[in-house]
Structure 1
Amino acid sequence: MAPSPPVKYEAAPKSLHYEFGGPLGALGVVISVPFFSYWLPFAAAGNFQLSKFAEFHAAGWRAMHDPQWWESLWSWEVFAVYLAWYFWCVLCAIALPGKEIEGVELRNGKRLTYTMNAFATMVVSLAMIGAWTFKFGPGALLYIPHHWPQLVSAAAVWSTFLATFVFFQSYIGEQMLALGGNTSNAFYNWFIGRGLNPRLGDFDIKTFNEMRPGLILWVIFDLAFVAWQHERIGRVTDSMILTVAFHTWYVLDAEYNEPAILTTMDITTDGFGWMLSAGDLLWVPFTYSYTAYFLALHPTDLGVSGCAGVLAVQLIGYYIFRVSNNEKNEFRLGRNPKNLKSFQTERGTRLLTSGWWGLSQHPNYMGDWVMSWAWCLPCGFQSPLPYFYVIYFAILLVHRQTRDDEACAHKYKKDWETYKKLVPWRIIPYVY
């Protein structure tokens, strides 16, 4: 039998379509992500209220005219501590054992291999922090809230450096570029990500940053805020325990189910640029932990009935999120244990039309958004600040859905219109 001819593909096709409003929209994101990363804790410390908007921001502007305020945003010592954490995660990714998993088929017909040891990295890291805290006390954890602005700056600088490094690396040799990251605008390409799968040898930069430094740091930050609340009021509230438990559960679940990331748009479609770099290393750990930060400064007691209600919201959201993701992952990997129905496309692939995926085009997004409410409700209603996450996450998920819809319309053409008639609801059935 003659060998199969090599798959023909373009490694570096020219991108003709902008997302995020093009270069101007990308600039807005580059400005707003660091701004809100700094502003949210500043607002919590100042007990921001909508009714006192003018007073609050007048005080903020006065502070910004003080040179010491600007000096408080940077510390070389804190930057060294942050880098020590980052490269500890690199060491774990290289040294710890893990199952070898193949990703989805790329445009060239090949599949990359990934070592799945993010869960082991998290367990080892938390065990070491726990042992250190047990022996020496929570001083190391309290270092985090006591140096919070400097840590934000360290993550912002490092994520920007990393995005810049990968951007220039994408011009070395013949690499497969992201379909949307090779426009005529260099700034936009740097932002959105030019290289699809940037690697140093077998070390995959994109999946490493998606699953390890920032995601695990989110839980470590939460634990630091537990210690901070105890330092401030001499106890830990039920709302703090519930919030940290939800966050930890979410991250542990993500790390344990690490192979599921290989079928997401972040890995299969998007390049690794500033958007993903800053999202992974700055936005996720520093803003997703914000409710715990807020509770450290503004303790709230829920009581038994309050805890039960919030827990019910969390469990419903988690069930939808995890079961729907498992259905999708199993189906894409060629397994279908539930015998779910699917729609045959002219491309030769199939689209799920039953189970959770028969109710919504993105049931995992729906579960994720329900959980976001459970992460904010423990803060009560004393301030709108903690609910920024629910609003931001709704915008993020609708934007993702829009990107998915555009990509699938291009990919499946008329079959996508047929599919949308079979599954009309985008995220929440009978709502959107």
Structure 2
Amino acid sequence: MASDNTASEPLLASPNTISEQPAKPELNPKTTHVEFSGVPGALGISIGLPILIYVLYYAIEGPTNFEDFSKVFDVEALAAYLLWFFGLVGLFYIVPGRVMEGTVLRDGTTLWYKMNGLNCFLVIIAVLIARGFITHGELPELVFVYDHLLGLITSSIGFSFVLAFFVYFKSFLKPGKTILAYGGNTGKPIFDWFIGRELNPRLGMFDIKFFCELRPGLFLWSIINAAMAHAQYRKFGYISDSMILLNVFQFIYVIDSAVLESKNLTMIDITTDGFGFMLAFGDLALVPFTYTLQSRFLAQTPVNLGVYGTIGVVGLKALGYYIFRSSNSQKNAFKQNDPSTAHLKFIKTKTGSKLLADGWWGVARHINYFGDWLMSISWCLPTGFHTPVTYFYSLYFAILLIHRETRDEAKCSEKYGEDWVTYKKQVRWKIVPYVY
């Protein structure tokens, strides 16, 4: 957080000055604490994660495709990916949507955001349904995605690098006016490029970070899943119950994200983090091409869950969703002083805030993360236990949630001080009750 440099004692008057104005907080303070071990970590992640995507691709496809490197650099796939990305940019401008105000920035201003993600996604779905009728279910677009998946991976990774360089150099165009991310102003180009130097890179009202947070990656995630289900039907003559379940689960997640698009305005990704290679790569490449490992496996190896298997997976999904939604709803109701939360115990902090230490939030400090993680397991279980590769998402998500929890803890410790220590004594567990 920006420090408050307002003077707390009388100012000394110089012979020529009666009084002086108190110093204003610095707009872009120098970053003193770096994550991921600084430059070495940034380089390691920037090189290692793209390689990991290719490793996971071949882990699913099998060693028989190692010799087919012509698909790695695919001009048709590159053209298709650019059409996809900039087509979504076009929909952003064309499709109607309400305009909302974001959080107050450190210079006292606010930004406006157009919320039409759901409408854009519905347009894409409508086009695919119409194409299905026209082509009698052949859907050449889905066939293209399946056949050119490796080229699409390369295109998305390459585009992530280009976009990261674009926003990095753009952040220098208006020195003194551009708000930089607290974590991305180290003065070390490699790290700032990786973590994100500018807080809100924009072209007019088009917010690059907010756009990439949801649309290109999450929407493509659903398209790839649909392409895998389509491929399974073409190859085996049916779509397995596991494939149907997986598509439904993950489609619900994507549509839910589109419905709740405005909630992203208060997420740490938008309010605090800069937009650099880390977020660009995560949004555009990592999400659509690693979160679909399960459907890509099922396209080649159908798994039939049966009635009891389906009930078990649906039950785990429902339990995770209940914990996630119920805990978040309870927290939001408490913040709004809803009468339904009047009986819940809390800790009054010196800042005037209240730390909820009862109900769901008396079980674990981040109990909503536990529900989220249970849902991630339910996405992997439909693949059975043939390979650990399809459980990558659940493992990666656990690491992501623990990292996020660590950041949250540090932020709260700084903000609440001794009150946070008291809170931790009352609510012992971080995410998983009686485990962690």
Which string of whole-angstrom CA distances, capped at 9 and with x for unpartnered residues, describes residues 398-424 of structure 1? 111112212222233333223322332
User: Which residue does 2:26 correspond to in 1?
Assistant: 10
Report the equivalent of 1:404.
408
Q: Secondary structure at the match of 1:213?
A: helix
Using structure 2 for the length normalisation, give the TM-score: 0.88
- The alpha-carbon deviation at position 149 of structure 1 amounts to 0.7
User: 1:427 corresponds to which residue?
Assistant: 431
Looking at structure 2, the residues matched to 186 and 328 of structure 1 have their Cα atoms a distance apart, in angstroms, of 40
Counterpart-to-counterpart distance in 2, 1:81 and 1:330: 45
Q: Say if 2:220 is the partner of 1:204.
A: no
Retained in 2: the 8 A contact 1:196–1:269?
Answer: yes
Q: 1:115, CA displacement in angstroms? A: 1.9
Does residue 353 of structure 2 align to residue 353 of structure 1? Answer: no
Quote the Cα distance in structure 1 between the aligned partners of 2:274 and 2:96.
Answer: 27
C-alpha displacement of 1:99: 2.5
Task: After superposition, give the CA deviation of every residue in 1:227-268 in whole Å (9 maximum; x if it has no partner).
Answer: 111111111100000011100011111111112212211111
Aligned-CA RMSD value: 2.2
Describe the shift of the 1:194–1:215 C-alpha distance in structure 2 as closer, same or farther (beyond 3 A): same
SS of aligned partner of 1:381: coil
In structure 2, relative to structure 1, the CA distance for the partners of 1:203 and 1:300 (3 Å cut) is same
What residue in structure 2 maps to residue 50 of structure 1? Answer: none
Question: CA 1:8 to 1:347, structure 2 compared with 1: closer, same or farther past 3 Å?
Answer: farther
Uncovered stretches (5+) of structure 2, i.e. residues with no partner:
1-20
C-alpha displacement of 1:178: 0.9
* Displacement after TM superposition at 1:330 (Å): 6.0
Counterpart residue identity of residue 341, structure 2: N
The one-letter amino acid of 1:24's match is: P
Deviation string 1:265-289 (CA, Å, 9 cap, x unpaired) is 1111111111100000000011111
Q: 2:93 corresponds to which residue?
A: 94
Does 2:277 align with 1:264? no
Residue in 2 that maps onto 1:339? 341
How many residues in Structure 1 have an aligned counterpart in Structure 2? Answer: 410
Question: Which one of the candidate residues 414, 418, 432 is aligned to 2:418?
Answer: 414
8 Å contact kept, 1:176–1:197: yes
1:218 equivalent to 2:233? Answer no
| Pairs within 5 Å for 1:140-179 | 140-173=141-174, 174-179=177-182
Q: What SS does the aligned partner of 2:410 have?
A: helix
- Structure 2 match to 1:362: 366
Q: How far did residue 336 of structure 1 move?
A: 4.2
For the pair 1:246 / 2:249, whether they are aligned, the reply is: yes
Structure 1 residue 8: Cα displacement: 4.0
- TM-superposed deviation, 1:12: 1.3
**Contact 1:152–1:286 at 8 Å: present in 2 too?**
yes
Q: For residues 148-185 of structure 1, what are the alpha-carbon distances to aligned partners after superposition, in whole Å with 9 as ceiling and x for unaligned?
A: 11000110011111111111111121111111111132
Of structures 1 and 2, the one with the larger relative CO (CA 8 A, separation 6+) is 1
1:275 corresponds in structure 2 to 278
Task: Report SS of the residue matched to 1:100.
Answer: strand
CA distance in 2, matches of 1:350, 1:109: 25
Alignment TM-score, normalising by the size of structure 1: 0.89
Secondary structure of 1:317's partner?
Answer: helix
**Structure 1 Cα separation of the partners of residues 109 and 331 of structure 2:** 21
Identity of aligned residues (%): 46
- 2-side partners of 1:349 and 1:171: how far apart? 38
Contact 1:260 1:329 in 2 (8 A): no
In 1, Cα distance between equivalents of 2:364 and 2:169: 40
Question: Which residue of 1 is the match for residue 48 of structure 2?
Answer: 32
Contact 2:333 2:341 in 1 (8 A): no
User: Which structure has the greater CA radius of gyration?
Assistant: 2
In the alignment, the residues of structure 1 paired with residue 244 and residue 326 of structure 2 have an alpha-carbon distance, to the nearest angstrom, of 25
User: Contact (CA 8 Å) 2:293, 2:389: kept in 1 or not?
Assistant: no
1:257 partner letter: L
Looking at structure 1, the residues matched to 338 and 108 of structure 2 have their Cα atoms a distance apart, in angstroms, of 23
1:8-157 maps to which residues of 2 (within 5 A)?
A: 8-46=24-62, 63=66, 69-136=68-135, 137-157=138-158
C-alpha deviations, 1:182-204, integer Å up to 9, x for none?
A: 11321011111111111111111
Change (3 A) 1:337 1:10: farther
